[in-house]
Structure 1
Amino acid sequence: MIEHPYSKYPMRIGAQIQPQRCSYAEIRRTAAELEELGVDVLLNWDHFFPMYGPAEGEHFECWSMLAAWAEATERVEIGPLVTCSSYRNPDLLADMARTVDHISGGRLLFGIGAGWSERDYREYGYEFGAAGRRLDALGEALVRIERRWGLLNPPPLRKVPVLIGGNGERKTLRLAALHADIWHGFGRPDQLAAKHGVLDAWCAELGRDPGEIERATRVLRKGPEEVGPALAEVGTRFVTLVISVRDFDRGHVRDWLDFRDEFNR
């Protein structure tokens, strides 16, 4: 296996619970079961409407849910995949994140991105604008969030891991090189490897050790026998499974957890 600077990280399995078309009681039970199964991280998303299937239906807000998960769970890290930098004042978002970190006992993973769902922006009264401007706003927000964490009393319980999501090579990966502890990308293993190379190049230009940035991705339906070794080969060490509450395949989760345990042995 090729040794990358970021190959030092152990394999981790996350689960992104879709907060849509179900009751919160069902979400809470699913979160509890996933923690009991042994996943490492529980994630939701920061949208205001369902992202898959019919456009209408039950849906729940990101940070209120994370605060509830902070009380309801004991071991797993929790966080958004990803929160949108445009939906809340960055200093307020930093304070919300710090509070969830304290409620959870220091288990917050802070995922953030520039936002992309035009319906969210339009219906909640935010200016959508151009993608480049949203990415510029993300960079500005990250500076303010990091500064606010240093000013809050009390501060976060640990150096909150920052996950930046997105594939854009010119702006997003540069922001990841500047700010991220984890970069979350999308695509096939070979596509991720190419993005890793771009991120590594930004690290070299900006004076950052690329080994400081854990590499992550999302898997929708494929099992570890299909894609696990290839992801590991390119240096991905954090794999997130997407969980539909009313169509929850426990065997799929167990297969990935077995792959993690065998890989880390």
Structure 2
Amino acid sequence: MQIRLQTDQLRAVLDSHGAELVSLQNSTGKELLWSAGTQWPRHAPILFPIIGRLVDDVLHHDGRDYPMTQHGFARDCDFTVLEATDNRARFLLKNTAATEAMYPFPFSLEASWSLDGSSLNLNFRLTNTGKEPLPASLGWHPAFHWDPAPGWRILFDEQETDHIRRVNANVQLTAATDPTPVRDKILPLTEEVFARGAIIFESLRSRTIRYISPTGPVLDLAFAGFPQFTVWKQKGANFVCLEPWAGLPVQESYRGEVLTKPGQMLLQPDESHRFSCILTSHR
């Protein structure tokens, strides 16, 4: 089921499959999102309950093994539509027998979208509805138009740390760090800067980033509740992903119990965490 939201400055299309944003157009009708082409067949998936890929695609808990594919299952699930109006939509995903075969934990994940002028607001609420701690990571993975012309860049609102993290070919976190390619709060967006894959900021100071084209600002992305941030593009593709994360991929050597996996949230019974993103179009 698709839901259309609209103001006089922004138009968005959401799909209940994955609660995914599949179109975002500015006031001139220009499409800002990637087209989900053959190089990467998605637009802006929600990553839950893991980010990246587990070693051998297996989650270990309480002596049992559970198959879990890359970035978890939320992006491939049908969410329940709780609300749909001209400028607001709410979606809900809860544990089912199908999710428990991959992830044996009760949970509730609500994704709420709204338009306000030239801004798209996204709010998540993750709740542990079970009786034991809930291990989880949550990320948003939107892909925006980019082309090879020089001048594309990201401007951070704070000076970031002098190192970044990387993942291996299996999207698992490597032990080593790399020097940051950010200089004076600016990350140039070129094929060369992504030659070694995604750029992961393990502890981001900035709470807003600006996405800038050769002709000026395109988008501002503000977020709260997400400690990490990642920038990624597929080689040769005309998009860049700007990804707020709450959690990190598994370390490439980790094969242990999911409850003790480093770099994730651990919600206690009845505990909820909230997260938000505000995406503002400049044209």
Q: TM above 0.5, one fold? A: no
**TM-score, normalised on structure 2?**
0.24
Task: Give the structure with the larger helix fraction.
Answer: 1
Task: Give the structure with the larger strand fraction.
Answer: 2
